[in-house]
Amino acid sequence: MYFKQIETPGIGCLSYVIGCTTAKVAAIIDPKREIQEYLDITRNQGMKITHVIETHIHADHVSGNLEITARTGADIYFYEKAPVAFEHKTLKEGDTIELGTAILEVLHTPGHTPHSLSLLVKDTSRSEEPWFILTGDLLFVGDIGRPDLAGKELLEKQVENLYESIYKKLGKLPDRLGVYPAHGQGSLCGRGMSSKTSTTLGYERHANPLLHLDSLDEFKKSLMQEYPDRPKSFSHIISMNMKGAPWLDKFNDDRPLTLLQFREALERGAQIIDTRDPPAYGGVHIPGSINIGFGSQMANWIGMAVDPESNILLVFTEDTKYRDMRSILYRIGYNNVIGYLQSGISAWQEQGFPIQRLPQISVQELHDEIKSSTYQHIIDVRFESEWNKGHIEEAELLPLSDMLLKEVDLPKDEKIIVTCRVGYRGNIGASYLQLHGYTNVHNLAGGMQAWSNAGLPLKV
């Protein structure tokens, strides 16, 4: 049996190639949108892709299933009741797929979505016993799939489904079974995934607190609570995956824009994402932009801050970053990428076009304002768990996800200083406020790390 796990950077997605080099056939499980890696792997191994299997309709990334099918003739498979609008084949509990020595058995494991499935995998060249399970978004390393994406009205039923799937269906399987999920750290489909990308059932039963609760009632108490709001991109991605995403080949072109082309697109309502670091963005940027720099959570912050139907303009320090950024946007369903400012901010500024600044305040300046009681609002956009480890006593907690997805109740003309851990998220939040009409916004340079390193007081 051939087996390979493929990690998609930036969004924590894991996909799989399973096949048999003797039988020369392979399946792709939960494919990412860029499919060339799958084509290269199977060609190099002498295998033909015959199956594309989705464990569920994904909310956090766009699938390349239709493009794989168009390139290879493979059939696409979903659970039998999945609401998919394009041509596909269906799977039900107990079905098996034979790929030479690799045998995949279908388990219906709802909970993350009502139509989720898992795949129990055997390598018959070694044993007739199952070797591992592909759990989709049912069971992660250190976490389980969030049950709220199907809607609040289905939450209780989905929690019950999760319990049945994890405690009863997976409960029949041996500890030695390997576990390979569809997501790892960085995905918003869970709440606390490990950076490790595989585990075993036995270890999760030992170390995952959600797998040793005593009853359904306890499980419900743990799961029936507030979940992070869905990014703006999730509904858009689900819709694309139900209808079928357009091929990436349609979009794969470089799009450098002259100053005039860029300004005309901006005047037509396009949204600028400026990827430069906080000091560069703070020094000068184009009005109407939001600052989201390259980082491990970049895709998630874009999904929360920017409407996925927006026409997108991009600003970089280096034009070579365009392809990386384009890939990130396409993975999460942002298809309307108009292009990037080829000549950079300096040329925009030299042309006399409008500019804006986002002041970066030092920790010493903020400390002086606190001592003299001249500050007005200090907003900490970190996670609550970070806040609880130490924060500025005078600050207010407003996690960045809440700022981006909910109404902000702050005076638009008063001074607002935004802080985070090192300044990255603070600049996202401050630029978002500025974009929405807040006129006196600052970012704390270096964030709470700078505050702590300067020996300034923290409240725990």
pLDDT in tens, 3-25: 999 999 778 899 999 999 999 99
For the chain, list residues with pLDDT below 50. none
The DSSP code for 356 is B
CATH no. of 251-350: 3.40.250.10
- Spatial separation of the C-alpha atoms in residues 358 and 278, rounded to whole Å: 9
CA distances from 404 to 28, 307, 417, 426, 435 (A): 35, 11, 16, 12, 12
C-alpha to C-alpha distance for 282 and 188, rounded to whole angstroms: 29
Give residue 61's pLDDT.
Answer: 94
Question: What residues does CATH 3.40.250.10 cover in the chain?
Answer: 251-350, 360-453
pLDDT at position 184 is 84
Q: What is the pLDDT of residue 195?
A: 83
- Amino acid identity at 292: I
Q: What is the CATH number of domain 360-453?
A: 3.40.250.10
Question: Which CATH number applies to 2-233?
Answer: 3.60.15.10
For residue 175, how many other CB atoms are within 10 A of its CB? 11
> Measured between alpha carbons, how far is 398 from 381 in angstroms, rounded to an integer?
5
pLDDT per residue as tens digits for the range 281-339: 999 999 999 999 998 889 999 999 999 999 999 999 988 889 899 999 999 999 999 99
Inter-residue contact 113 to 84 (CB < 8 Å):
no
CA separation for the pair 120, 124 (Å, rounded): 13
**What confidence score (pLDDT) does residue 363 get?**
98
pLDDT given for residue 252 in this prediction: 63
Residues of the chain with CATH 3.60.15.10: 2-233
CB 93 within 8 A of CB 59: no
pLDDT at residue 232, rounded to an integer? 87
